[in-house]
Structures are given as C-alpha cells and as structure tokens.
Amino acid sequence: MKERVKGSSSKDESVRSKRKLSTPLKGSRPKVKKTIRVRKRQKGDFPKSEGEVERLQRELQTFKKGLEERELELNRLREEVRYKNQQLASKDLEMESYKKITEERIFQLEAKVKELEAQIGRSSHL
C-alpha cells in the first residue's frame, strides 16, 4: 500500500511503501522522535528463503544502528541537562550570597538613617 504525501519525493514514497511509519519522514518533529511500527510475526510465519533472512538481518542492523544513535543522543542530552543543573546550582549559590550581602547592607543603611533621624530630633529640640 503506497501512501501519497503532498510534497514528498519518490524516494520518500518508496521507503514509506516498504514499511509503515507512524510519523511522516518530513515534518516538524525531530528525527529522534520517529517511530517505526513493525508487524508482529505470527506462529509459522518464518522467513522462507535465505534472501529473506538476509533482508531481515539488514533490517535488524538498521534498527540497531538507529537505536544506538538514539541512545547516544539520549546520553548527550542527559549530560547537557546535568551540566545545566550544575550551572543553575552555582548561580543559586551566587544569588544567595548576593542576597545576604544586600540584606546586610540594607540593615546597615536603615540603622544609619535612624541614627541621623535621632541626631536631627535632638538638634531641633535645642
């Protein structure tokens, strides 16, 4: 069964006709999220020739290669998330330190304002 997709090339159509894809070959989704539906073999549905066995082995290798690529991408993304979390934790510590210093400075300035108000109050009574 061939599915015609608007704007797709004949290569895309031939690939799509050989195996059904749950997502289109071209689209807005990243390559990592493409999934392939594989027909389950039923009892007695075994390869009938060596050619079919070789084809299935090549297909299996293709799936394995795709899986390895996805695992590499997943590991890369995990490492990226770990690194960004580390940066955020460092920035949080920096902000907390800045906050403490700022609060301390505000406290000192408020004390200075009260002291100056007290001096003004004493000098106005004289």
Residues 41-56 have pLDDT tens digits of 555 566 678 888 889 9
- In the predicted model, what is the mean pLDDT of residues 58-84? 97
Bridge partners (DSSP) of residue 36 are 21
- In the predicted model, what is the mean pLDDT of residues 71-92? 97
Enter the DSSP assignment of 37. -
| Rounded-to-integer distance, Cα 80 and Cα 86, Å | 10
Which two three-digit tokens encode residue 26?
Answer: 């071209």
Helix (H, G, I), strand (E, B) or coil at 100: helix
**pLDDT band, very low/low/confident/very high, at 126 (cuts 50, 70, 90):** low
Please say whether the beta carbons of 19 and 34 come within 8 A.
Answer: no
Which two three-digit tokens encode residue 52?
Answer: 């079919």
